[in-house]
Chains A and B, each alone.
Chain A
Amino acid sequence: MKAMILKEFRQMARDRRTVALMVGLPIMLLVIFGYAARYDVANIDTIVVGPDAAAVAADLDPVYSVATVDPSGTRATAEEALRESDAQVAIVTGSTPNLMLIDGTELFVAQSALRRLPSATVPQIMFNPSLSTANVMVPSLIGLILLFIGTVITSLGVVREREQGTLEQLAVMPLRPMDVTIGKIAPYFLVAALDMALVTTAGLLLFGVPFAGSPVLFVAFGLVFLFVVLGLGVAISTVSKSQGEAVQLAIMALLPQVMLSGMIFPLASMAGGVRWIGYLLPLTWFIKGMRGVFLKDSSFAALALPLGILVLMAVVVFGAAIMRFRRDLAPRRVTATDTVEATDAAEVAA
């Protein structure tokens, strides 16, 4: 038995990814839960408009972080600010009582605002008046499902080629690396796109989630996000020797996105450093986009930032993944330690 235990420890120590999963993951979970898993919101982005804006803004509870005070603003200005995600709460002054418009797509922010309602103010929840969890979660879950298919399923599909030795066979067949790459990824892209349509339809029909915005923006977000997640899947596959390794890496890529994307815990309540990690994750921006499209009928201009960031991520992640995958199919370069100049012929031919 002692021999068995020793053998197991030796194997465990050699498998760096398992060690990372066993040691790194608990630390990551602790940090995430410690700094991110908070439902209480300490900071609510606020705009105050109307003739009494300055006076009302001065009297507000410190939880309201007033970014704009606009005495000439109207209710329309306030609604626009919420729709464009410039603020989470907008107070319209000039009537008695004052009106507080609250962005209902930010569930915890809305609840915090309702708990700390200023005096002589009536609330009105916009975009998700019943503060329905399903309305907020379904658009986010579409992203999570795509992320799962994109990273886990795609990486497994590509790694299987390497495990079976068929990737090498493909490399000696009359196929260009681009043929193999597109041929390999296109089916996953189509299945993921179909999944997106199915999940969206099911979400709309089963949970009665409203779809207020532009179908074109919805499709644009979906396609760009698909490129990001498929790129992530291919990238994982290029650094994994086995399907087990690919699954481990995929878990490590998925977990932070679930925790830090704002899907479960509000970004507004996270500690600064952790929130910035959230901003680096594609799911964060997809969720912002989907909530804007589904619930707020946000304009293209309002969603340009999340869409632009996703496009940038798609170019970087997908591009890098494809280049690495291509390297598996084309002759490898000689290493820097090699002193004799190699023929360029094989490289050119590839």
Chain B
Amino acid sequence: MSAHVDAAHVTRRFGDFTAVDDVGLQVEAGEVVGLLGANGAGKTTLIKMVLGLLRPTAGRVQLFGQPPGLEQRRRIGYVPQNLGLYTDLSVDENLAFRAEVFGCAQVGAGDLPGGRHVGDLPLGLQRRAAFAAALQHRPELLVLDEPTSGVSPLSRSELWDLIRSEADRGAGVLVSTHYMDEAVQADRLVVMARGRVVATGSEADVVGERRTLVVEAAHWEGAFAAVDGAGLRPLLAGRTIRVPGGEDDLPTLRQVLADAGVEADVRTAPATLEETLVELSR
């Protein structure tokens, strides 16, 4: 059986700018694939090509073994960043419209306020309504572009429960996100930077042997200022300072702290996914 999504050597150029550069992507049934990358990495352009909204400049995109087309669209549920709901219609009216177009039975709004205009609902409920609309026809492939952007942690957790249950049902899920705690819930990650895929696999695969520098100091403010002043891009985790780099960078970091007269314990530790992403995006 062919993969739900099979993109090979896909490139998309806009004039001189290459938004997506020779990218491959597969999504199988029952699999949640997380598409990670900084803003401008090419995630949304890739998603649009997968959906058939944009034509690749080069390469091939297939959905269910065929080029994206009318029949393939019947099997897709799509939640764009801006939700794609009619905000001046009620939740029920939006669901009814989708059900009519997809020729399926309309599901109830559940605990959503079905009679209220979508535009009057808080963002969390709007996103749930968008999910309800996209899942109504039980799609075999769910494409979600930043689906939890701007919603509370509780709502994000609920939406991810929904994504997992869809995958358990057998749907393939392609989800782009910039929340690292969400990304780790994907079965497989595809990390994009500058239009290219720079890493794939599980969180462990993506992070690999990458390490980061950890600075612990009694006067963390002074340590932070020294490292920041040296242009080493420190991140603060509690009172611990994490600096991108590995064993080779230890002497430099120690020298920077010594020059600033800061006493600190400096060591390396396994990098987090976020730190890895920052490194890969450089």
Which residues of A are at the interface with B, using a C-beta cutoff of 8 A?
164-166, 168-169, 171-176, 331-335, 337-338, 340-343, 345-350
Contact = CB atoms under 8 A, between A and B. Distances in A.
Contacts of A331: 52-55
5 contacts: A166-B85, A169-B78, A332-B54, A337-B13, A349-B67
A154 B67 CA distance: 33
B70 A174 contact: yes
B13 to A, nearest CB: 5
Given A171-B52, A174-B101, 8 more contacts: A166-B85, A168-B80, A173-B73, A333-B55, A343-B58, A348-B67, A348-B69, A349-B67
Contact of B13 (A164, A335, A348, A349): A335
Given A165-B80, A346-B61, A335 B14 contact: yes
Nearest to B75: A174
A342 B72 CA distance: 20
Interface size class of B (residues with CB under 8 A): 35 or more
Interface centre among B59, B81, B84, by most chain A C-beta atoms within 10 angstroms, is: B84
B179 interface: no
B157 interface: no
Query: Closest 7 A-B residue pairs measured CB to CB?
Result: A349-B69, A345-B67, A169-B84, A165-B82, A340-B58, A331-B55, A174-B74
A346 B101 contact: no
Contacts of B95: none
B51 interface: yes
A300 B83 CA distance: 52
Interface in B22-54: 49, 51-54
B149 interface: no
Nearest to B119: A164
Main secondary structure of the interface of A (DSSP, over half): loop
B133 to A, nearest CB: 9
B57 A338 contact: yes
Nearest to B60: A343
Interface of B: 11, 13-16, 49, 51-62, 66-74, 76, 78, 80-87, 98, 101-102
Contact of B52 (A164, A333, A349): A349
Interface centre among B49, B52, B62, B80, by most chain A C-beta atoms within 10 angstroms, is: B52
B11 A340 contact: yes
B56 A342 contact: yes
Given A334-B13, A337-B15, A349-B70, A169 B54 contact: no
Contact of B78 (A172, A334, A342, A346): A172
A337 B13 CA distance: 9
Contact of A340 (B53, B57, B60, B101): B57
A332 B102 contact: no
B29 to A, nearest CB: 19
Given A174-B74, A174-B101, A338-B57, A346 B67 contact: yes
A346 B74 CA distance: 15
A169 B48 CA distance: 11
Given A165-B80, A165-B84, A349 B53 contact: no
Given A175-B101, A335-B13, A335-B15, A346 B80 contact: no
B94 to A, nearest CB: 10
Contact of A337 (B11, B16, B73): B16
A164 B101 contact: no
A333 B71 CA distance: 21
A337 B15 CA distance: 6
B53 A168 contact: yes
A315 B81 CA distance: 37
Contact of B86 (A166, A343, A349): A166
A332 B13 CA distance: 12
Contacts of A333: 55
B55 A347 contact: yes
A348 B54 CA distance: 13
A346 B68 contact: yes
A332 B52 CA distance: 9
B84 A168 contact: yes
Nearest to A329: B53
A349 B102 contact: no
Interface centre among A165, A169, A334, A343, by most chain B C-beta atoms within 10 angstroms, is: A169
Given A164-B86, A168-B84, A173-B102, A342 B55 contact: yes
